[in-house]
Amino acid sequence: MGHGIFVAPTRKPLVTGSKSYHDITEDICSPAEKAPSVAWVIGMLVSLGLVAFGGACLLITIWVGIGSWNLNRTIGWGWDITNFVWWIGIGHAGTLISAILLLFRQKWRTGVNRAAEAMTIFAVICAALFPGIHMGRIWLAFFIFPYPNTRGPLWVNFNSPLLWDVFAISTYFTVSLLFWYTGLVPDFATLRDRAKGMRKRIYSFLSFGWTGSAKHWQRHEYLSLVLAGLATPLVLSVHTIVSFDFATSVIPGWHTTIFPPYFVAGAIFSGFAMVQTLMIVSRKVMNLQDYITITHIEAMNKIILLTGTIVGCAYLTELFIAWYSGYIYEQFAFMNRAMGPYWWSYFGMMLCNVITPQLFWIKKIRRSIFWTFFLSIVVNIGMWFERFVIIATTLARDYLPSSWSYYWPSIIEIGVYLFTFGLFFTLYLIFSRVAPVVAIAEVKHILKYNGDQYLAKNREDYEAKTGVKVVLDEDKVTDDPNYEVDDQIDANDLDENN
Amino acid sequence: MKGKHKDILFGLYNDETELLDAVHTAHEDGLEIMDVYTPFPVHGLDEAMGLSESRLHIAGFVYGMLGIMTAFGFMTWVFTRDWPIIFGGKPYWSVPAFIPISFELTVLFSAVGMVVTFYVICGLGPGVKNPILHDRITDDKFCVAFETDGLAKDKIDGYRSFFSKTGASEVFEKNI
C-alpha cells in the first residue's frame, strides 16, 4: 500500500523539534492547564487598567453625549470612525489566514490561524463599539435593524452604505465566530479528555460531545472548506462596504473608485501586522516556537511587504488621478492632505506604510524577530494615520472656507480608544488561557508532511530517486530512526498530499 | 447512542498509516466496523471505510439561495409596495443598491444553516455527552471499534485476532 509521503524537499519545516502527536497535544494544551505566568498576570492587569480608565471615558460619552468629544460641525467624523475602520481592518487578517490560505492550501496557516481568528473576533467587537457610541444614543441602536415598528412601519434605508455596513459587519462577526468555534470544538475535546473535575465538565460542555468519529471529521472538513469559500468573498466585501461609506459620498478625496481594493489591501496589511505583534509575544511567552517558526513569520512578512506595496501604489495612483482629473477641488484635497494643517499625519502614513515596510525585501530583516516586531508596530501606527488622513484631513477643509476647522481629540476620545485596546488584550489573554492558541488537530494533520523529522526522510528519498542533491538553507532537519517511509513514492499520492 | 447500552470492542493504533492498513484489512476480511475515531482528519479514511460523500455543501447552497431570496424579496417589497421612498432621484426598485445586502444575507444564511445542520446531523451540540471510548483518541491514538452486542464468542475472537494481526497497541472492551 503506498502511503508515500512526499514534500518538495526545498520546503522548510513548519513544525520543528521532531514532535510526536502526543508532544503536540502536550505543548499546546499545557498553557491552558498551568497556573498563569507572571507575564500573563502583568499583561492582564495592564489591560484591565486600560479597560477601567477607558470604561470611565466610555460612560462619560454615553452619559454626557458626544459633546464630550472634540468633533465640530465641519469635522463630524474624527477618532471614532478612524478607530472603527482601523479595528475592522485588523480583523481581516484572521479571515485571510483561515479562509483564503485554506483555499490556497497554504499549510503554514495552521500555526497561526486559531489565534488570528480570535484576533478577528475581538477586533470586530472593538470596531463595532465606535459606530454604536457615535450614534449618541446607544440605547436606540436597535433602530439600525429593519424590524416591524410603530413608526409606519418605517424601514431603514436599504440604499445606504451605512446600512450595508450594518449587514456586512454583523454577518462578518457571525460567520467568523462560527468558523472559529467549529475549529475549536475538536481541540476543546482534547482538553476535555485531559482534564479532571470542574474543568472536565466545562470543556465537556464546550466540546459539544465531540468524539472524533470518521464521519464527523469528514463533514467537519467539508464544512470548513465551504465556510472558507464563503468567508473569502465575505471578507473582501466587508472592507469594500466600509470603503463605500466614503466612496459613495460626494466629498473630494473620498469619491474615488480605487477605495474598495485599496481599503482591502490596507486591511490585510494592518491585520498581518497585528498578527505579528501578537504572535511574536505569544510564541515566546507560551513556548510555541516549534509551531510558530521563523518560517511562519517570514511568510507573513512577505504578505505585509506585498500588501504594503499595493497600498503605496494606491497612494500614488490617488495623487496622479487627482492631478489628472483636472478638477480643482480634488486637486486641492490632495494638496491639503500632504501640505495642509495635517501634513504630519500624511508623512507619518507615507513613512510607516510605504517606506519602512520595504525593509522586508531584505531576508535578514524578514527573518528577524526584533525587526518584525518593531516594523509590525510601525505598520499599525501607519495604518491608523492612513484612516485619520482620509477622514479628518479631508473634512477639515470643505467647500466653504469660512467653515474650515481643526480637530484634536479630547481626553475622552483618547480614553475610548484605550478602552478598546484594554478590551482587545483582555479578551485575547483570556482566550490564551482557556483555549488552545494553535489549532491542535490541524497541526497534527500536517505533521507528516511538514514536520522537520519527516522532511529529512523525504529529502533522502527524493535524492535517492532523482539523483539531485538537495541543499537546504537552514539545516535544522533531524532524523527519526523509528519512522519508516515506503520505498516507493507513489505518484498518485503526490496530488493528494500536496 | 441514546438509551440502549451496547458492548464495544475497540483497538488503538499508534499511527494513521497503521490505521489505514487495518481498515483496508477489515474491509478485505469482511468485518463490519462500527466506527473509527481519530484525533485529526485522516485523508483516505472515508474511502477505505466506504463512507459516502457528505452532502453538506448542497444544504449550504440551498440555505444561500434562501438568503438571497429573503433579502432581495424583502427589500423589493419594502421599497415598491410597503413604503416607497425616492432616494437621490433613483427608481424605487434600485437593484444595484440591493446587491450588497443580498450578498451578505446569502453568506449569513448559508453559513449559519450549514453549521447548525452539521451539529444536528452529527448529533453534537452544547451539553451533548457522547460516550468517550478512550481519553487518548483526541490526543494521539487511532481507534477502530466493533459492536459486539450479542455476538457469538468466535466472532468476537475473530475481531481480537484482527487487532493482533493488524498491530493494534491496545484492545479494550467497553459497554457504552
Q: What is the CATH number of the domain that holds B144?
A: 3.30.70
Contact predicate A344/A282, CB 8 Å: no
Among the three residues B95, B122, B149, which one is the final residue of a domain in this structure? B122
- Nearest residue in A to B49, CA atom: A214
Q: What's the pLDDT tens digit per position in A232-266?
A: 999 999 999 999 999 998 888 899 899 999 999 99
Of A1-5, A119-123, A274-278, B92-96, the range with the lowest mean pLDDT is A1-5
pLDDT higher for A25 or A470? A25
A159 chain-B contacts, CB cut-off 8 A: 87-88, 90, 94, 97
Contact predicate A270/A86, CB 8 Å: yes
A194 chain-B contacts, CB cut-off 8 A: 135, 139
Q: What is the pLDDT of residue A385?
A: 94
Q: What is the pLDDT of residue A240?
A: 94
Query: Bridge-partner residues for B35, per DSSP?
Result: B145
Same domain, B165 and B146: yes
B108 chain-A contacts, CB cut-off 8 A: 171, 174-175
Same domain, B143 and B87: no
- Sheet containing strand B35-37, edge to edge, reads B35-37, B142-147, B7-13, B170-175
Q: What's the pLDDT tens digit per position in A66-88?
A: 999 999 888 999 999 999 999 99
Task: Tell me if A21 and B54 make a contact (CB, 8 A cut-off).
Answer: no
pLDDT, chain B, mean: 89
* Facing A217 at nearest CB: one of B38, B125, B140: B38
Among the three residues B122, B141, B159, which one is the final residue of a domain in this structure? B122
| pLDDT exceeds 80 at position A9 | no
Task: Tell me if B118 and A230 make a contact (CB, 8 A cut-off).
Answer: no
Same domain, B61 and B32: no
**Angstrom distance (rounded) from CA B73 to CA B67:** 10
Assess: ipTM above 0.90.
yes
Place of cell 423589493: B76
**Angstrom distance (rounded) from CA A336 to CA A343:** 8
Same domain, B47 and B76: no
Once rounded to an integer, what is the mean pLDDT over residues A169-185?
94
Q: What is the pLDDT of residue A468?
A: 66
| pLDDT exceeds 50 at position A445 | yes
Residue ranges making up the domain that contains B163: 7-52+130-175
Same domain, B73 and B117: yes
> Which of B67, B93, B162, B176 has the alpha carbon at shortest distance from B132?
B176
**Angstrom distance (rounded) from CA A131 to CA A239:** 15
* Facing A208 at nearest CB: one of B49, B85, B119: B119
Once rounded to an integer, what is the mean pLDDT over residues A206-233?
92
Q: What is the pLDDT of residue A10?
A: 59
Does residue B61 belong to any structural domain of this protein? yes
Once rounded to an integer, what is the mean pLDDT over residues A287-292?
88
Does residue B137 belong to any structural domain of this protein? yes
Tell me the three state secondary structure of residue A310: helix
pLDDT, chain A, mean: 87
Q: What is the pLDDT of residue B14?
A: 87
Contact predicate A141/A135, CB 8 Å: yes
**Angstrom distance (rounded) from CA B108 to CA B102:** 10
Q: What is the pLDDT of residue A458?
A: 67
Confidence band, pLDDT 50/70/90 cuts, at residue B152: confident
Same domain, B74 and B41: no
Task: Tell me if A189 and B138 make a contact (CB, 8 A cut-off).
Answer: yes
Contact predicate B22/B168, CB 8 Å: yes
The residues in B 126-155 lying below 8 A from A, measured between CB atoms, are 126-133, 135-140, 143
Task: Tell me if A22 and B139 make a contact (CB, 8 A cut-off).
Answer: yes
Confidence band, pLDDT 50/70/90 cuts, at residue A480: very low
Q: What is the pLDDT of residue B46?
A: 86
Confidence band, pLDDT 50/70/90 cuts, at residue A149: confident
Q: What is the pLDDT of residue B127?
A: 84
DSSP per-residue codes, A366-432: HT-HHHHHHHHHHHHHHHHHHHHIIIIIHHHS-S-GGG-------HHHHHHHHHHHHHHHHHHHHHH
Same domain, B43 and B64: no
Of A187-196, A406-415, B41-50, B64-73, the range with the lowest mean pLDDT is B41-50
Same domain, B79 and B43: no
A154 chain-B contacts, CB cut-off 8 A: 83
Domain ranges of chain A: 1-18+453-498, 21-450
Does residue B1 belong to any structural domain of this protein? no
| pLDDT exceeds 60 at position A413 | yes
| pLDDT exceeds 90 at position B73 | yes
Q: What is the DSSP letter of A15?
A: B
| pLDDT exceeds 50 at position A211 | yes
Q: What is the pLDDT of residue A3?
A: 42
**Angstrom distance (rounded) from CA A183 to CA A397:** 48
| pLDDT exceeds 60 at position A497 | no
A195 chain-B contacts, CB cut-off 8 A: none
Q: At what angle do helices A440-450 and A452-466 cross, to 10 degrees?
A: 30
Q: What's the pLDDT tens digit per position in A355-396?
A: 999 999 999 999 999 999 999 999 999 999 999 999 999 999
Contact predicate B27/B164, CB 8 Å: no
Contact predicate B63/B113, CB 8 Å: yes
Total of domains in chain B? 2
Confidence band, pLDDT 50/70/90 cuts, at residue A487: very low
| pLDDT exceeds 60 at position B155 | yes
Tell me the three state secondary structure of residue B11: strand
Q: What is the pLDDT of residue A390?
A: 93
Here the cell at position B114 is 450549514
CA A348 to each of CA A56, A148, A252, A322, A382: distance values in angstroms, whole numbers, following the listed order: 30, 47, 22, 21, 6
* Facing A219 at nearest CB: one of B56, B85, B87: B56
Here the cell at position A440 is 491542535
Does residue B47 belong to any structural domain of this protein? yes
Domain A21-450 belongs to what architecture?
A: Up-down Bundle (1.20)
- Nearest residue in A to B64, CA atom: A230
Q: What is the pLDDT of residue A238?
A: 93
B51 CB within 8 Å of a chain A CB? yes
Contact predicate B168/B13, CB 8 Å: yes
> What is the enclosing helix (H) or strand (E) of B173?
strand B170-175
A219 chain-B contacts, CB cut-off 8 A: 54, 56, 118, 121-122
Based on its alpha-carbon atoms, the radius of gyration of chain A, rounded to whole angstroms, reads 25
Interface test with B, best of A154, A155, A454, A496 (most B CBs within 10 A): A155
